[in-house]
Chains A and B, each alone.
Chain A
Amino acid sequence: GAGVSQSPSNKVTEKGKDVELRCDPISGHTALYWYRQRLGQGLEFLIYFQGNSAPDKSGLPSDRFSAERTGESVSTLTIQRTQQEDSAVYLCASSVDRNTEAFFGQGTRLTVV
């Protein structure tokens, strides 16, 4: 595709439910990143994929958060047993490799009620 695509754009979920957020990176981009942006805050790094493996998961805030990537393409970020503090915009970015510019998607706005 022309850019990084994320779905859904918006997600409202009840506290305690699991959610899955999807990222379709730019075709051919081997590096993929997930960030979280809380209201009025900067972006927090969550996880980095190189191909299908994740050499850096250091930003995942708890074991309720997990992510996978398949086919060196689509990535899914899963949040289990969602809490209100998980409410944020989740942004995905991809780059040709780890040394080149990262392009961001438009984000998924998650609201936990």
Chain B
Amino acid sequence: QQQVKQSPQSLIVQKGGISIINCAYENTAFDYFPWYQQFPGKGPALLIAIRPDVSEKKEGRFTISFNKSAKQFSLHIMDSQPGDSATYFCAASPSGEQGAQKLVFGQGTRLTINP
């Protein structure tokens, strides 16, 4: 119930294309869904996050789509650039006394944008 399943494991996209990474969860207590971007040798950095009261959130070229009934959410990167090449992690956490940031992470997607 605590798992977040992420796919694909790796993704290669041409420059200018759309990158799409998907995640699915089981725990209905999850109410915060962030995406993290990690470059080699660095810690993960928050990219964009969504709560279940909206179905979509857009920040620049990055969009989260959220489907509460299907318990799925996805990251779309429009006009993908070589600088977007990194590992992307979806995550989820429940609210409540034990810590809103007790994040459960997906397995990660290594994204490569070919020039």
B102–A42 contact, CB under 8 A? Answer: no
Tell me whether A56 and B99 are in contact (CB under 8 A): yes
Across the interface, do A106 and B102 meet the contact criterion of CB distance under 8 Å?
no
The residue from B42, B98, B107 contacting A48, defined by CB atoms under 8 A apart:
B98
Taking a contact as CB atoms under 8 Å apart, the answer to whether B105 and A42 are in contact is yes
Report yes or no: A41 in contact with B43, Cβ–Cβ below 8 A.
Answer: no
A95 to B101, CA, bound (A): 9
Report B-chain residues with C-beta under 8 Å of the C-beta of A41. 107-108
A105 near B101: Cβ-Cβ < 8 Å? no
Q: Is the interface of A mostly helix, strand, loop or mixed?
A: strand
For the residues of B in contact with A, the DSSP-based class is loop
Across the interface, name the chain A residue whose C-beta is closest to B43.
A104
Task: Tally chain A residues at the interface, Cβ within 8 Å.
Answer: 27
Contact B104 A106 (CB under 8 A): no
Contacts of B101 in A (CB 8 A): 31, 33, 48, 93, 95, 98-100, 102
- B4, B101, B103, B106 — most chain A CB neighbours (10 Å): B101
The reply to whether A55 and B99 form a contact with Cβ atoms under 8 Å apart is yes
We find that the number of chain B residues with CB closer than 8 angstroms to chain A is 25
**Distance, CA A104 to CA B47, complexed state (A):** 12
The verdict on A66 contacting chain B, using a C-beta distance below 8 Å, is no
Complex CA–CA separation, A48 to B100 (angstroms): 10
Q: B29 within 8 Å of A by Cβ?
A: no
Contacts of A45 in B (CB 8 A): 102-104
Task: With both chains docked as a complex, state the minimum distance between the C-beta of B99 and any C-beta of chain A, in angstroms.
Answer: 5
Partner of A42, one of B6, B46, B97: B6
CB of A107 closer than 8 Å to a CB of B:
yes
Residues in A lying within 8 Å of B, measured CB to CB: 4, 31, 33, 35, 40-45, 48, 50, 55-56, 91, 93, 95, 98-107
- List 6 other contacts, CB 8 Å, given A56-B102, A101-B46: A42-B106, A44-B105, A91-B44, A93-B101, A98-B99, A106-B41
Give the A-binding residues of B (Cβ under 8 A). 4, 6, 34, 36, 41-46, 49, 89, 91, 97-108
The 9 closest A-B pairs by CB, nearest first: A104-B43, A42-B105, A43-B105, A48-B99, A99-B100, A42-B107, A102-B101, A98-B99, A56-B98
